[in-house]
Structure 1
Amino acid sequence: MTQNHVTGMENAAVSVLKRAVELDHSGRLPESLVCYQEGIQLLIDVLKAVKDDSKRGHYREKTQGYMARAEQIKALVSQMKEDGKYHEQNKILEDATGHSYEVLFKPYISSSLTEVWVEDPYIRHTHQLYNFVRFCEMLLKAPCKVKRIHLLTSQDEQDSSQQTRALAELKESLSAHGMDLDVQYSSTIHDREIRFDNGWIIKIGRGLDYFKRPKGRFSIGYCDYDLRQCHETTVDIFHTQHTKTL
């Protein structure tokens, strides 16, 4: 392994762990735990590659410290979940980037996740339907086995046929991947909520529609949501031992 490659690994570990500490200090514990775990693994890889004994000792000490903090966070989050007191609030700032669905939901997706409920009145227009498709794709790629997604939304009063066709096409497509989509409509729905059957509840002020329209089809951010600018919104995360059932 070349020195440049080792240096790159070291820089990556430092960057991820710096982000872990920032999230930790701001109280965003599940997100910080994910970063700590990723950073620790990077440090372990660095330890395997570094030959200098002094550096190995330094990284071994750092790894042990970060592992201890990760275990503390894991225990703290677990206790808060057990007590039903977990609540975290994050802000997505105006024009911010780096907030794709993969980034936003990753800390709350576990291997035990099998069912998802989405309540969002605005899965109607073309760009909102595409957002929901992206959300479903994120779940398909995630390290879990989601078998069913429930969508509760409102009907498009101007062109409900397009909305119905689009969701029927998505249902058929998801079925080919072993995932069932259950769609229900409500004329009184207002709140926006995404609920996982592993106990996590994510409430986004703007629902799934917090991305700004890209400047054009060939503009950066059109395909990659991490590079797309966002509207300002608030994300509230809760945990309950009693998950929603049909």
Structure 2
Amino acid sequence: MNIESAAVNILKRGVELDTKKRYTEALVCYQEGLQILVDKMKGEPDDTVRTYLRKKVEEYMNRAETIKRIVLHQKETGQFHEQVHIENNSTGHGYKTLFGRFLDADVDFVIVEDPYIRSFHQCQNFLRLCELLVRSCPNLRHIELLTSKDAKTEGDQREWLKSLGNDLQKYKVKLLVKYSETLHDRQITLSSGWIIKIGRGLDFYKAPENKFCLGVYDLELRQCHETTVDIVHSKNVKQSYG
């Protein structure tokens, strides 16, 4: 049977992630692949092909529903843990790919803890994250950043973050910046309970080779340093802003 290769590739990737117990990523693949199959099935004139496609759709839909139940159970029991290992020099790890699937209407505040949002490129990484949050979370109202100061860049850092805060207000989002000299943890906490812990924080991308190469703007194409991303869920996320 000639099913569109795009659907086959996406669903294969879903099975691969499913096997590795990276359930939320597998779910995204299954949903994308299913959409292609359903669209193809609607326009398919051949009854035999349509029956075959319907069987495949049911098969993957059932698995997707099973995964949803597994994730829900793990969240309820506090056992959810998904890990992504980013290899040195690998690409394809933009913020949206890594954790965009958790950004939705359930998120009304986000707490970013990262001691290294200080230099220009680090503040730009935080800006990219804010852009993604504003685009993906329609009910977002607060972003809290907990970071540290650096004597060399402190003045610039304050100005950059102030400019960003002013701009976020246009989207009815308040940016609250707090500083700590003892902060070590690096994590992004969503009000919906998802917690994304990136070993290197937001700054795990390598510097581009020059200002006119792929990856300068699209982080999916930027090479990465080796790091590990752990995603967990807590039912007790508390906002700390006033």
The question of a shared fold, defined as TM-score above 0.5 by the shorter chain, is answered with yes
Q: Distance in 2 between matches of 1:86 and 1:132?
A: 26
Letter in 1 for 2:89: D
Do structure 1's residue 133 and structure 2's residue 123 form an aligned pair?
no
TM-score by length of 1: 0.94
In the other structure, the counterpart of 2:107 is 113
Q: 1:111 & 1:21 partners in 2: Cα distance?
A: 27
Aligned to 2:227: 233
- For the residue of structure 2 that corresponds to 1:32, the secondary structure is helix
| Residue aligning to 2:63 | 69
Match of 1:89 in 2: 83
Q: Size of the alignment, in residue pairs?
A: 239
Q: CA deviation at 1:144?
A: 3.8
Root mean square deviation of aligned Cα: 1.2
Kept in 2: contact 1:110–1:198 (CA 8 A) = no
Select between 159-168 and 16-25 the one with higher mean Cα deviation.
16-25
Asked if the contact 2:10/2:33 (under 8 Å) is kept, the reply is: yes
Contact 2:106–2:137 (Cα < 8 Å) also in 1: no
Answer whether contact 2:91 2:223 (CA < 8 A) is retained. Answer: yes
Instruction: Give yes or no for the alignment of 1:147 onto 2:128.
Output: no
Native 8 Å contact 1:210 1:232 kept in 2: yes
Cα distance in structure 2, aligned partners of 1:178 and 1:46: 41
- Residue 18 of structure 2: which of 6, 18, 24 is its match? 24
Q: Is 1:196 matched up with 2:179?
A: no
The one-letter amino acid of 1:72's match is T
Normalising to structure 2: TM-score of the pair? 0.96
- State the distance in 1 between where 2:29 and 2:118 align: 35
| Equivalent position SS for 2:96 | helix
Q: Which amino acid aligns with 1:161?
A: G
Of 171, 177, 180, the match for 1:177: 171
Q: Does 1:55 align with 2:55?
A: no
| Secondary structure at 1:130 match in 2 | helix
Q: Summarize deviations over 1:147-180 as a string: whole Å, max 9, x none.
A: 1100000012212000000000000011111211
- Distance, in Å, in 2 between the alignment partners of 1:127 and 1:218 is 16
Q: Once the two structures are superposed, what CA deviation does each residue of 1:37-93 show, in whole Å capped at 9, x if it has no partner?
A: 111111111111222222111111000000000000000000010001111221011
Q: Distance in 1 between matches of 2:232 and 2:76?
A: 12
AA matched with 1:201: I
Give me the identity figure in percent.
48
Q: Distance in 1 between matches of 2:238 and 2:229?
A: 20
CA contact (8 A) 2:108 2:137 kept: no
Give me the whole-angstrom Cα distance separating, in 1, the residues matched to 2:227 and 2:238.
25
8 Å Cα contact 1:109-1:144 kept in structure 2: no
Is 1:99 paired with 2:93? yes
Residue 14 (structure 1) aligned to one of 5, 8, 11: 8
Give 4+ residue runs of structure 1 displaced > 4 Å after superposition: none
